[in-house]
Amino acid sequence: MTDSIAARLDDPSFSTRLDPRGIYDLAVGFPSQCREALRIAEAATIPLAGDEIRLVVVTGLGGSAAGGDFTRALFEAEGRVPCLVNRDYTLPHYVGADTLVFATSYSGNTEETLSSYADARGRGARIIAVTSGGELARRAEADGVPVIRIPGGQPPRTAMGFMLVPVLVAAARLGLLPRQDIVAAAAHCEASMSGWRRETPFAGNEAKQLAAYLHGAMGVVYGLGGWQSVVATRWRGQLNENAKQIVLTHVFPELNHNEIIGWEGASRIGVGRWATLILEDGAERDRMRLRAEVTEQLIGGATPVRRVRATGPTLLARMLSLALLGDFVSLYLAALNGEDPFVIRSIDAIKDALSKTP
């Protein structure tokens, strides 16, 4: 079976036949997207001061919020103030004049983000909008709110560089976060990507191998720590949308206090095959690595477990390259599942239904 899958994934026509809109090409273009986003962000005018900011909130949904999760992880590791991600119509009660809200919507028309933007305005929060246009750009410009405009015209989940980099640049400019080496992170992604592209044979292509591993299975992606779980969540979203495949995610050490017991009944719920991944940095503390090893032993009778290790000179480089690997996995898995990675029928149906109800 694996030989058959390898042969199919090594045939360029196999992975292109259901990707007429070039989602794969957008993944390949991610490093260039980060560099373009850096150019745009550095040229943007941000007439704010960071001295009195005590909290950063990134508000957005779906692909537009993915960059917020990465921002939060960087703030937790290196930031001067707390940062949280909001995925709702309203903001937390404590958001106020000492809060910087990044209103992020790739299209500019996400109804939850527009609602939270209005909420931020009512609370007197400082706001920066990151969007390609739409109603968010119109409102922000009318209100005198800084807008960082990024190029539009692609699925939001493929635009994480455009949604993330401007937030990081603005936060650094305001002294809330150390300046991130976007150029080095993009270069590392570009170098890493050479091993995951269509031209690289299955035998030496980790992305193809992981797609084969997940094919036909109930996938589980665990993060061996906080930022690793952020990347696991990104993997889940990409596997959901691109490959049309359900995936479960959780984080160490929390899963050792609950989900580990659930595995004891895994054989009773009718899943034909499980496939578990642990995303790791490789530099975790000894206690965390011991937890992963013991967990692997405990669940090994129910599921195989594979480790996927990040690489890169900085935390940002490790996060982005590990996330990009997941993008390639999702696209190869989409091909194996016979799915067009562009199509998101259920999301479109929900938006259509909501559009008919004021």
What is the DSSP track for 57-111? EEE--HHHHHHHHHHHHHHHHH-SS-EEEE-SSS--TT--TTEEEEEEESSS--H
Is residue 241 part of the annotated active site? The answer reads: yes
In the chain, which residue ranges form alpha helices assigned H by DSSP?
A: 2-9, 12-16, 23-28, 30-43, 62-78, 111-123, 134-143, 160-173, 182-193, 206-214, 226-243, 259-262, 286-299, 315-337, 345-355
pLDDT at 50 (0 to 100): 83
Exposure string of 134-168, with b = 16+ CB inside 10 Å and e = fewer, is bbbbebbeeeebbbbbbeeebbbbbbbbbbbbbbb
Kindly report whether the peptide bond that precedes residue 253 is cis, defined as omega within 30 degrees of 0.
Answer: yes
Exposure string of 202-230, with b = 16+ CB inside 10 Å and e = fewer, is beebbbbbbbbbbbebbbbbbbbbebbbb
* Closest-CA residue to 230 (of 275, 279, 295, 277): 279
pLDDT at 181 (0 to 100): 98
Does domain 2-19+191-337 match CATH 3.40.1280.10? no
Per-residue pLDDT band for 276 (boundaries 50, 70, 90) equals very high
**Mean pLDDT (the chain, rounded):** 96
pLDDT at 287 (0 to 100): 98
Strand partners, 100: 56, 126
pLDDT at 238 (0 to 100): 98
Is residue 351 part of the annotated active site? The answer reads: yes
Q: What is the token pair recorded at 119?
A: 């909420």
Give the mean model confidence (pLDDT) for residues 19-37.
97
pLDDT at 34 (0 to 100): 98
With a pLDDT cut of 70, the percent of the chain lying above it is 100
pLDDT at 1 (0 to 100): 59
Domain spans in the chain, listed from the N-terminal domain onward: 2-19+191-337, 25-180
d(CA 278, CA 235): 12
pLDDT digits (tens, 9 = 90+) for 281-303: 999 999 999 999 999 999 999 99
* Closest-CA residue to 239 (of 311, 120, 331, 103): 331
User: Of residues 241, 244, 280, 339, which has the active-site annotation?
Assistant: 241
Q: Indicate if the pLDDT at residue 277 is higher than 70.
A: yes
pLDDT at 18 (0 to 100): 94
pLDDT digits (tens, 9 = 90+) for 236-247: 999 999 999 999
Q: Which fold has domain 25-180?
A: Rossmann fold (3.40.50)
Question: 48, exposed or middle or buried, with CB in 10 Å at 0-12, 13-18, 19+?
Answer: middle
User: Of residues 93, 199, 257, 356, which has the active-site annotation?
Assistant: 257
Give the mean model confidence (pLDDT) for residues 75-82.
98
Task: Provide the 3-class DSSP secondary structure of residue 11.
Answer: coil
Fold match, 2-19+191-337 / 25-180? yes
Please state the pTM of the whole predicted model. Answer: 0.96
d(CA 126, CA 98): 7
User: Of residues 76, 78, 264, 351, which has the active-site annotation?
Assistant: 351
pLDDT digits (tens, 9 = 90+) for 153-191: 999 999 999 999 999 999 999 999 999 999 999 999 999
Is residue 259 part of the annotated active site? The answer reads: no
Per-residue pLDDT band for 82 (boundaries 50, 70, 90) equals very high
pLDDT digits (tens, 9 = 90+) for 296-323: 999 999 999 999 999 999 999 999 999 9
